[in-house]
């Protein structure tokens, strides 16, 4: 067993904690965080933690400001749910608490619940042995593909809203999917402390650049070394064209620990069975680890059987996840534990056959709770004595919230948060898909780019909220106008894009563009303020004006620039074909 598996929190935690009393002003707390370059402050009363204030809290209040935020006491804004651990907790237990609770900080307390120090995800990554980072893995196997991007010309306020809505720790700043910078929660905390005008500051003015990147085919250990070298928590994953295709974080890097746990517990369970058969002599180190695992507070549930597949061990977490008790299942066949869990007929028997050859098998079970379906990810593996099976081990994880988070991340990655339309990433995928389909079927299609004329003056004259309302109203008119097979997206600040399938001629495309313009032209009501808007359209047809994505976008962009020039001359909406 690796040395790190034997380490406890007391071996690595930092005894110094930046703590403040509840009456400290939020402004002072943010100043301390910026000065000390730290990600959180612990709020204590009589040396006991009563709350924690993090960079994520700062971002949340930046986009939903309260008039008393800066001068108000920190106890009004802190997160009260402080997760604490003791110095004697094993490191792998601390890691499980961090990953399952989706947090980055744990407060270390003594037997009187007084704060002793702090431990972070970065601390754990520094101390886990490299063998636990799955040396055979590449970045592409563990990276998060649901990236969220922003445009460098967007206001910092938009980036803050996206971060707050999705609980996202950093955003990739892209132009045409080329990463040009990143912006993080720590940056946002600094902006808040310095009083930056986030509504009128563009992201490109304050983003971190150049971007630290890694290729999807690179070893995981190389990504770890890059993070250590630059003291960062995130890397942007790029393809061979330099385009962003994902992101890898510290959490992704240590995801291999879960597989290590399964292997460790398999060994421990086997040795425990041997020792019980040998008149229950003194427990060895691995038996002690098994006992610690079975009684630890980690949220993954563990179920172990004997040779006859009767349940011999069941952790409290497994009882909670399955909503059963040890008295109900100990000594019973494991099949009774998983039946009626919405598993396809024969699936469990297939799994048993597979693990007898030394493989693992993962599937999902379900259970109902308060009229809601909860999803339980189940990893099944065998325990062996030499080549002879001695039982099976189930690792259970309730992934319901993870599924909800993944769906939210997908929505944030591919849809514009302001208008609900597809964003630039989704638009690019749809455009490439339409190109492939049209080449295959030898059919034309049209690309339309639309800009709102003088949109900057709308923000200047009526305010950014009015500008956002105008964009939302335009999106509603566009979304209800086109066919389901067409794609409409918000590409940037005031720019929209449309892919029209099966438009045979330039005349067809112009007719659709005129129809869209007619729909967009009527006056807009911006919370009681009437506003007339004009638009510039740029059209490009495949294959007439280009046979690839870059050429089509370039020619449509040149057409829209001509339309804008006409608009400045005649003060009207204009449509120009490339």
Higher pLDDT, 327 or 570: 570
What are the beta bridge partners of residue 311? 305
The answer, yes or no, to whether residue 267 has pLDDT greater than 60, is no
Q: Is 339 helix (H, G, I), strand (E, B) or coil?
A: coil
The per-type count for the chain, helices as H runs and strands as E runs, is 22, 24
Give kind and range of the element (H or E) at residue 264.
Answer: helix 257-277
Dihedral of alpha carbons 44, 46, 48, 51, sign: negative
Question: What is the arithmetic mean of pLDDT over 430-454?
Answer: 94
pTM assigned to the model = 0.48
What is the structure's pLDDT at 285? 42
What is the structure's pLDDT at 1? 41
At CB < 8 A and 24+ separation, what contacts does 414-417 make?
Answer: 416/475, 416/489, 416/490, 417/158, 417/161, 417/162, 417/165
Higher pLDDT, 252 or 431: 431
Q: What confidence tens digit (pLDDT) does each residue in 392-406 have?
A: 888 888 888 888 777
Of 134, 234, 97, 219, the C-alpha closest to 179 is: 234
The answer, yes or no, to whether residue 280 has pLDDT greater than 50, is no
Question: What is the arithmetic mean of pLDDT over 371-391?
Answer: 83
Of the pLDDT bands very low, low, confident and very high (cuts 50, 70, 90), residue 440 is very high
Are 525 and 545 spatial neighbours (Cβ–Cβ below 8 Å)? no
The answer, yes or no, to whether residue 572 has pLDDT greater than 60, is yes
Strongest mean pLDDT among 91-95, 151-155, 551-555? 551-555
Name the phi and psi angles at 204, rounded to 5.
-65, -20
The 10 Å Cβ neighbour count of residue 515 is 12
Of the pLDDT bands very low, low, confident and very high (cuts 50, 70, 90), residue 567 is very high
Strands 234-238 and 213-215: parallel
List, edge to edge, every strand of the sheet that includes 213-215: 213-215, 234-238, 244-249
Lowest mean pLDDT among 73-82, 104-113, 161-170, 502-511: 161-170
Distance (Å, rounded) from C-alpha 474 to C-alpha 469?
9
The answer, yes or no, to whether residue 42 has pLDDT greater than 80, is yes
Question: What is the arithmetic mean of pLDDT over 243-266?
Answer: 66
Question: What is the arithmetic mean of pLDDT over 464-469?
Answer: 91
What is the structure's pLDDT at 574? 95
What is the structure's pLDDT at 284? 45
Strand ranges inside 335-411, DSSP E: 361-369, 372-385, 388-398
Q: Is 289 helix (H, G, I), strand (E, B) or coil?
A: helix
Strongest mean pLDDT among 86-100, 232-246, 437-451? 437-451
Quick one: CA torsion of 212, 213, 218, 221, rounded to 10 degrees? 30
Strongest mean pLDDT among 17-21, 62-66, 88-92? 17-21
Between helix 185-194 and helix 156-166 the angle, nearest 10°, is 130
What is the structure's pLDDT at 435? 94
Assigned token pair, 83: 């997760």
Cα 575 to chain centroid, rounded: 40
Higher pLDDT, 266 or 375: 375
Average pLDDT for the chain: 84
What is the structure's pLDDT at 152? 92
Are 15 and 116 spatial neighbours (Cβ–Cβ below 8 Å)? yes
Give kind and range of the element (H or E) at residue 213.
Answer: strand 213-215
The answer, yes or no, to whether residue 464 has pLDDT greater than 80, is yes
Distance (Å, rounded) from C-alpha 98 to C-alpha 96?
5
The answer, yes or no, to whether residue 530 has pLDDT greater than 60, is yes
Of the pLDDT bands very low, low, confident and very high (cuts 50, 70, 90), residue 444 is very high
Higher pLDDT, 373 or 184: 184
What is the structure's pLDDT at 345? 61
Question: What is the arithmetic mean of pLDDT over 14-18?
Answer: 78
Question: What is the arithmetic mean of pLDDT over 222-247?
Answer: 88
If you write DSSP's letter for every residue of 317-335 in order, what string do you get?
HHHHHHT--HHHHTTSBHH
Residues 6+ apart with CB under 8 A from 121: 98, 104, 233, 250, 251, 254
The answer, yes or no, to whether residue 286 has pLDDT greater than 50, is no
Higher pLDDT, 488 or 393: 488
Assigned token pair, 167: 């609980």
The residue whose two tokens read 């009882």 is: 319
Distance (Å, rounded) from C-alpha 199 to C-alpha 180?
21
Q: What percent of the chain has pLDDT over 70?
A: 88
What is the structure's pLDDT at 503? 87
Question: What is the arithmetic mean of pLDDT over 272-287?
Answer: 48
Instruction: Label residues 167-198 b or e (16+ Cβ within 10 Å = b).
Output: ebbbbbbbeebebbbbbbbbbbbbbbbeebeb
Residues in the chain: 578
Dihedral of alpha carbons 185, 186, 189, 190, sign: negative
Residues 6+ apart with CB under 8 A from 402: none
The answer, yes or no, to whether residue 77 has pLDDT greater than 50, is yes
What is the structure's pLDDT at 263? 54
Higher pLDDT, 15 or 242: 242
The 10 Å Cβ neighbour count of residue 543 is 16
Distance (Å, rounded) from C-alpha 450 to C-alpha 419?
15
Characterise 88 by phi-psi region: left (phi > 0), alpha (psi -120 to 50), beta (else).
alpha
The answer, yes or no, to whether residue 44 has pLDDT greater than 70, is yes
The answer, yes or no, to whether residue 344 has pLDDT greater than 60, is yes
SS (H, E, C) 387-428: CEEEEEEEEEEECHHHHHHHHHHHHHHHECCCCCCECHHHHH
Of the pLDDT bands very low, low, confident and very high (cuts 50, 70, 90), residue 273 is low
């Amino acid at each position: 067993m690796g040395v790190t598996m034997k380490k406890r929190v007391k071996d690595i935690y930092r005894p110094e904690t930046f703590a403040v009393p509840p009456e400290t002003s939020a402004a002072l707390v943010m100043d301390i965080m910026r000065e000390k370059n730290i990600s959180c402050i612990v709020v204590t009363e009589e040396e006991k933690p009563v709350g924690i204030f993090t960079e994520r809290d700062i971002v949340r209040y930046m986009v939903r400001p309260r008039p008393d935020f800066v001068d108000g006491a920190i106890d009004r804004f802190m997160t009260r749910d402080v997760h604490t651990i003791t110095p004697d907790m094993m490191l792998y237990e601390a890691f499980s608490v961090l990953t399952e609770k989706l947090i980055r900080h744990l407060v270390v307390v003594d037997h009187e619940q007084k704060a002793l120090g702090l431990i972070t995800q970065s601390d754990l990554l520094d101390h886990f042995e490299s063998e636990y980072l799955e040396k055979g893995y590449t970045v592409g196997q563990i990276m998060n593909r649901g990236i969220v991007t922003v445009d460098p010309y967007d206001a910092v306020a938009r980036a803050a809203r996206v971060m707050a809505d999705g609980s996202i720790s950093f955003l990739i700043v892209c132009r045409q999917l080329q990463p040009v910078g990143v912006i993080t929660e720590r940056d946002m905390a600094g902006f808040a402390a310095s009083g930056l005008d986030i509504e009128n500051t563009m992201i490109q003015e304050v983003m971190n650049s150049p971007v630290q990147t890694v290729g999807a085919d690179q070893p995981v250990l190389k990504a770890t070394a890059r993070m250590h070298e630059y003291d960062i928590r995130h890397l942007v994953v790029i393809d061979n064209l330099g385009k962003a295709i994902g992101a890898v974080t510290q959490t992704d890097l240590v995801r291999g620990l879960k597989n290590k746990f399964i292997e460790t517990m398999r060994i421990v369970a086997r040795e425990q069975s041997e020792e019980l058969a040998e008149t229950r002599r003194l427990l060895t180190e691995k038996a002690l680890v098994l006992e610690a695992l079975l009684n630890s507070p980690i949220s993954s549930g563990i179920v172990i059987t004997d040779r006859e597949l009767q349940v011999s061990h069941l952790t409290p977490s497994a009882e909670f996840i399955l909503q059963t008790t040890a008295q109900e299942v100990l000594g019973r066949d494991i099949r009774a534990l998983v039946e009626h869990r919405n598993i396809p007929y024969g699936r469990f028997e297939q799994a048993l056959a597979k693990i007898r050859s030394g493989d693992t098998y993962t599937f999902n079970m379900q259970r109902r709770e308060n009229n809601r379906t909860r999803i339980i990810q189940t990893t099944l593996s065998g325990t062996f004595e030499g080549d002879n099976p001695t039982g099976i081990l189930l690792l259970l994880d309730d992934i319901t919230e993870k599924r909800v988070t993944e769906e939210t991340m997908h929505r944030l990655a591919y849809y514009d948060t302001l208008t609900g339309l597809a964003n630039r990433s989704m638009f690019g995928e749809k455009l490439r898909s339409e190109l492939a389909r049209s080449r295959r079927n030898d059919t034309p299609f049209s690309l339309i780019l639309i800009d709102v004329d003088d949109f900057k003056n709308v923000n200047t004259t009526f305010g950014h909220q009015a500008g956002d309302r105008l964009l939302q109203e335009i999106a509603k008119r566009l979304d209800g106008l086109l066919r389901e097979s067409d794609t409409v997206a918000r590409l940037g600040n005031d720019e929209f894009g449309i892919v029209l399938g099966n438009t045979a001629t330039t005349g067809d495309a112009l007719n659709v563009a005129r129809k869209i313009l007619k729909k967009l032209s009527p006056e807009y009501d911006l919370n009681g303020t009437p506003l007339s808007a004009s638009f510039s359209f740029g059209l490009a047809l495949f294959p007439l004006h280009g046979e690839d994505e870059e050429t089509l976008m370039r020619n449509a962009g040149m057409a829209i620039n001509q339309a804008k020039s006409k608009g400045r001359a005649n003060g009207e909406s204009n449509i120009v074909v490339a």
